[in-house]
Each structure stands twice: as C-alpha cells, then as structure tokens.
C-alpha cells in the first residue's frame, strides 16, 4: 500500500479534511465537486477510495446491490483509525447487507414511523419549552449545547428506548469517546462500556418490561435476533439518536444567526419552518458521509469502472451542492424548491431510520427557541468556537449564546 503523501502527490487528495466554515464544505472538496462527480481520495492508511460528489452518481451507487455496506469485509474503506475497531465491524442497522439488514430494520420500522413521531410531538414541544424555561430562568449567557441542543435529543431517545436519562452523563461521555476516539483501542473501550451498560439494562427490561423500544426488542430474542444483535442495535439507536441531532441543532442555530434574512422569513411565517429545516439539513449535513460502500464486482458508472474491492465514499455535503441538482447550491435559501431531495439521511435501503424523528425535533427546537428568545445571538465569533476536528462529523463542543 502506498504512502499517504505519495498517493496525494499522484492526484488523490487526503480524506477527510476539516471544515473551515460550519455550513460549507472544505475548499478541497469544493474543488473536487467542480471538477466532476467522482474522484479518487487517499485515506489515513494510504488506501484509496472513490469520493462521490455527483447527486445522480450517488443515487445510482447507493441503490446498487453490487455495493456492500458490510464493514466486516476486508476491503471495506476505513475512513478513520477508530473505524478499524471491532465495535464498528459491522455497525448494526447501517453495516449489514440484505437479508439481515431487513430483519433488523423491520423490528424497528413502526417505532420510527411518521405516525409514531407525530404522536410524540406534543411531548417534545413540552420538553423543548421546559429547557428554554430553564435557560431564561438562569439568564444569559448560556452554553446552547449543554443547556439545550444536547439534552433535548438525549431525553427524547432515552424516553423512546427506555434508557434512564439519569444516566445521561455516562452515555453522552461514552458516545463522545466512541465517535471521537483517536484510535481503535479507545473506540472499542468506549463501545464496550456502552454495551455493558445496555446489557445490564436489558436484563432489567426482561424482568420488568415497560413497553419501550428496548423491552419490545427483547420480545424477539432467540426468534429473530440474538442478545448480541439486540445490544448492538440498541447501541446504534442510543448513539445515533442524540449526538448527530444535538450537533444539527447547534450548527443550525449558528447558520440561522449567520443568515438573519432567512431567519426573519421563518419568524414572519412559522409555516416555513419545515422548509427551513430541510434547507439546513442540506447545507449543514453534520455527518459528511451519505454512505460508505465497497464494490463486490466490477461496476461501470458514467464511463468509469469501479473495480471489485474498491471503496466508495458518498459525500452528503457535496452531493447536496451538485449544480446539476440545485440552483445556486452554496446559497442558504429556505425558499428553495426541492431541498428535501438532499442526501443528508442517505439513500436507498440504508437511509436513516430516525429521519422522521430528527426532522420533528429540529422543527420544534428551532421554532420555539427563536419564538421564546428572539434576541438570541452568538456570544463568540465563529473562529473562537471550540470545533470538533479530525473526523467526518461536524460539531462544536460548546456554543456560547446570549440575549
């Protein structure tokens, strides 16, 4: 395997690269997008993969069964050292191919359906209102991540799964340790701590079922899933159900405050909030990868042959800015038509199970926050914020605000 420096010198830029702006991709990615829909990039270990920036190419690749999502395959592209950890091989609900994928997902479809999410909305509205009450009672300044963006989705996913929110300090810290680990050893340690916690909780649910998702999954043990499967499904739901949504709330607030003309449109007409959320999802895309796959056989697309064993990385931030799919793709415009076709939640059979829940949480959080605190503003410059670095997931560790 060639060195990273040699591969980059041969025309395959390093991936990933950190953003310089919370709502725009790195200039290196932008240059690739302008040059065409698909390019080779160099990973940390010297391996190469195809970096997909074209919307049409992405949809074709993500719906083609000749591309596997199974992270246990030896050729599967490992985009960061932590993803070499056993905890990510495979990643349940994301990293299995059919028919196993359909079995796991089928156990949860009703729990994350649009009907179920609509029934949850009043409780989420009450929760968001209570968090804003607490912020107002304490007075400015506030850390929007600690006081609002993180607790809202953490409480929601805890209630849905049946995880005691009193344990949130533990599972939030362990999640950070998993998703921001420097290497596979640290990732496995954080992941195992979460699995051990969920294993003890599952034993309680089996003895005292409460009708929540974890207890409902336990009803399928030994019939459709093993205990090993159940715990890793629960891990994916717990981690994915709060971290990405919390960062989307935080970076969404930053983006709206940095575009006051668009924020004014939402304030003047709250009915525009669903469209604003879709445009925020399109332009922010906190998880830069809409999909990671490996070819199981040679596949031709757009005149380029992707050979068996080669990996593809579908960039949500760049496919969401494909000029063939969007007019003025780098402009944040809540009046845009077609924003909902973005690939932030992926595409095909592996698209995000929790997207209905995430959309609802974002709509409620943004609407009530700006209604209740109309003077909300950042208490630090963008260059002063403690950004997450070194990964494919964007975010901030803190977000100082005042009013």
pLDDT digit string, tens, across residues 38-91: 999 999 999 999 999 999 999 999 999 999 999 999 999 999 999 999 999 888
Encode 277-308: b = buried (16+ Cβ within 10 Å), e = exposed: bbbbbbbbbbbbbbbbbbbbeebebeeeebee
DSSP string, 168-207: HHHHHHHHHHHHT-SSHHHHHHHHHHHHHHHHHHHHHHHH
Number of H helices and number of E strands within the chain?
Answer: 16, 10
Retrieve residue 194's tokens.
Answer: 């979460």
Domains of the chain, by residue range, sit at 4-402
Could you say which DSSP state residue 395 is in?
-
Retrieve residue 175's tokens.
Answer: 């999640």
Say what the pLDDT of residue 392 is. 86
First to last CA, the chain: 54
Within 8 A by CB and 6+ apart from 78, the residues are 43, 44, 45, 47, 84
Retrieve residue 218's tokens.
Answer: 């336990």
3-state SS assignment for residue 387: strand
Q: Please name the helix (run of DSSP H) or strand (run of DSSP E) that holds residue 80, with its range, or none.
A: none
Encode 54-91: b = buried (16+ Cβ within 10 Å), e = exposed: bbebbbbbbebeebbbbbebeebbbbbbbbbbebbbbb
pLDDT digits (tens, 9 = 90+) for 201-242: 999 999 999 999 999 999 999 888 999 999 999 999 999 989
Burial of residue 190, with CB atoms counted within 10 A of its CB: 0-12 exposed, 13-18 middle, 19 or more buried: buried
Q: 267: closest CA among 278, 256, 282?
A: 256
Cα distances from 381 to residues 43, 393, 397, in angstroms, run 32, 21, 14
Grade residue 164 by pLDDT with cuts at 50, 70 and 90.
very high
Say what the pLDDT of residue 4 is. 47
pLDDT digits (tens, 9 = 90+) for 244-302: 999 999 999 999 999 999 999 999 999 999 999 999 999 999 988 999 999 999 999 98
What does the alpha-carbon distance between residue 389 and residue 395 come to, in Å, rounded to a whole number?
8
The class level of CATH for 4-402 reads mainly alpha
Q: For 241-327, where are the alpha helices, taking DSSP H only?
A: 243-258, 260-268, 273-284, 316-319
Q: Which residue has the higher pLDDT, 303 or 7?
A: 303
Grade residue 111 by pLDDT with cuts at 50, 70 and 90.
very high
Q: Please name the helix (run of DSSP H) or strand (run of DSSP E) that holds residue 94, with its range, or none.
A: none
pLDDT digits (tens, 9 = 90+) for 333-362: 999 987 789 999 999 999 999 999 999 999
Sheet holding 400-402, edge to edge: 142-143, 400-402, 377-378
DSSP string, 147-169: IIITHHHHHHHHHHHT--GGGHH
What percent of the residues of the chain are helix, what percent strand, and what percent coil, each to the nearest 5?
Answer: 55, 10, 35
What does the alpha-carbon distance between residue 351 and residue 244 come to, in Å, rounded to a whole number?
15
Say what the pLDDT of residue 18 is. 87
Say what the pLDDT of residue 2 is. 53
pTM of this structure: 0.94
Residue 123 has pLDDT above 90, yes or no: yes
Retrieve residue 295's tokens.
Answer: 């070819």
Report the relative pairing of strands 311-315 and 48-52 from DSSP bridges.
parallel
Encode 194-226: b = buried (16+ Cβ within 10 Å), e = exposed: bbebbeebbeebeeeeeebbbbbbbeeeeeebe
What does the alpha-carbon distance between residue 320 and residue 333 come to, in Å, rounded to a whole number?
13
What does the chain come to in residues? 403
Say what the pLDDT of residue 74 is. 92
Retrieve residue 1's tokens.
Answer: 């395997």
Grade residue 1 by pLDDT with cuts at 50, 70 and 90.
low
Say what the pLDDT of residue 80 is. 92
Q: 275: closest CA among 291, 256, 290, 288?
A: 256
Say what the pLDDT of residue 10 is. 59
Residue 121 has pLDDT above 60, yes or no: yes
């Amino acid at each position: 395997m060639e060195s990273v420096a040699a591969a980059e010198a041969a025309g395959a830029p390093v991936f990933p690269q950190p953003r310089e702006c919370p709502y725009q991709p790195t200039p290196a990615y932008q240059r690739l997008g302008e040059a065409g829909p698909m390019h080779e990039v160099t990973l940390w270990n010297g391996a190469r993969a195809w970096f997909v920036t074209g919307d049409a190419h992405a949809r074709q690749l993500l719906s083609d069964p000749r591309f596997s999502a199974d992270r246990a395959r030896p050729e599967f592209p490992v985009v960061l050292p932590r993803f070499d950890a056993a905890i990510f091989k495979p990643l349940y609900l994301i990293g299995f191919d059919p028919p196993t994928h359909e079995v796991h997902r089928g156990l949860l479809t009703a729990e994350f359906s649009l009907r179920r999410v609509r029934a949850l909305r009043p409780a989420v509205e009450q929760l968001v209102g209570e968090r804003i009450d607490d912020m107002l009672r304490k007075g400015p300044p506030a850390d929007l991540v600690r006081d609002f963006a993180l607790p809202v989705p953490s409480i929601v996913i805890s209630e849905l799964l049946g995880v005691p929110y009193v344990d949130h300090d533990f599972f939030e810290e362990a999640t950070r340790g998993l998703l921001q680990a420097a290497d596979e050893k640290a990732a496995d340690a954080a992941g195992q701590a979460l699995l051990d916690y969920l294993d003890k909780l599952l034993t309680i649910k089996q003895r005292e079922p409460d009708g929540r998702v974890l207890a409902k999954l336990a009803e399928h043990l030994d019939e459709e899933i093993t205990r090993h499967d159940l715990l890793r499904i629960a891990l994916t739901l717990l981690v994915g159900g709060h971290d990405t949504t919390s960062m989307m709330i935080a970076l969404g607030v930053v983006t709206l405050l940095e575009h006051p003309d668009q924020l004014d449109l939402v304030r003047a007409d709250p009915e525009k909030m669903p469209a604003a959320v879709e445009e925020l999802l399109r332009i922010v895309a906190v998880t830069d990868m809409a999909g990671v796959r490996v070819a199981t056989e040679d596949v031709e697309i757009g005149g380029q042959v992707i050979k068996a064993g080669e990996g593809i990385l579908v960039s949500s931030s760049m496919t969401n800015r494909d000029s063939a799919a969007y007019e003025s793709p780098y402009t944040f415009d809540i009046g845009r038509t077609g924003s909902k076709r973005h690939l932030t939640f992926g595409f095909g059979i592996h698209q995000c199970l929790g997207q209905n829940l995430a959309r609802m949480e974002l709509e409620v959080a943004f609407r009530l926050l700006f209604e209740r605190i109309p003077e909300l503003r950042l208490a630090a410059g963008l260059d002063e914020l403690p950004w997450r670095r070194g990964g494919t997931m964007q975010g901030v560790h803190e977000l100082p605000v005042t009013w």
